[in-house]
Amino acid sequence: MEPIYYQSRAVHGERATAFFRSSPLAPELSGTVDFIQQPYGVEVIVQVEGLPDFEVKNGSQIGPHGFHIHEKGVCEVGNGEKPFETAGEHWNPTKQPHGNHAGDFPVLFSNEGRARMIFFTDRFEVNDIIGKAVIIHQGPDDYQTQPSGDSGLRIACGVIERL
């Protein structure tokens, strides 16, 4: 049997990054997310500081934090009550149900306000996400509620740019 080779238009080592912009809901939040093209998908590296402490407030859970790619690379805070709504919905180019969107990522767990995570995905290539936004949400993603996982308000946003 002959080996099957991955057919990709991507260039191994191609990179993109996003710098998080905070909102009034998490004013101390800062960090980056890097995307590195690998032969069979993309390595994602996120480092964040200033995440809010875990709590249940008015029936809503704060933390762990939903983390997604959103459709539009627009990170406007607006009036601060519902920041970053300009980023649109979760990026979902294949029209999958929530939990299987290309832009659905694992939640971020805060460790005294800090989170660091590295994971791998084969749902997109670096070129596919240039100009999109990455969003950190106030609450956890349940990976079931349609269309966006009921992860609450958006506390940070960054536009993905090619390096």
Pairing of strands 21-22, 154-159: antiparallel
For residue 154, the cross-strand partners are 137
Low-confidence ranges of the chain (pLDDT < 50): 1-7
Q: Helix, strand, coil proportions of the chain in percent (round to 5)?
A: 5, 35, 60
- Asked if the structure places residue 2 within a domain, the reply is no
Which CATH number does the domain housing residue 114 bear?
2.60.40.200
- Asked if the structure places residue 10 within a domain, the reply is no
- Asked if the structure places residue 103 within a domain, the reply is yes
Give the phi and the psi of residue 18 in degrees, each rounded to 5.
-140, 135
Tokens 């649109």 belong to 88
Q: How far apart are CA 104 and CA 114, in angstroms?
A: 21
- Domain limits at 134? 15-162
Query: What total of structural domains would you count in the chain?
Result: 1
Q: What is the pLDDT of residues 117-139, one digit of tens each?
A: 999 999 999 999 999 999 999 99
For residue 112, how many C-alpha atoms fall within 13 Å in the half-sphere facing its CB? Answer: 0
- Asked if the structure places residue 5 within a domain, the reply is no
pTM for this prediction? 0.89
- Asked if the structure places residue 96 within a domain, the reply is yes
- Asked if the structure places residue 6 within a domain, the reply is no
Q: Which two tokens stand for residue 36?
A: 């590195």
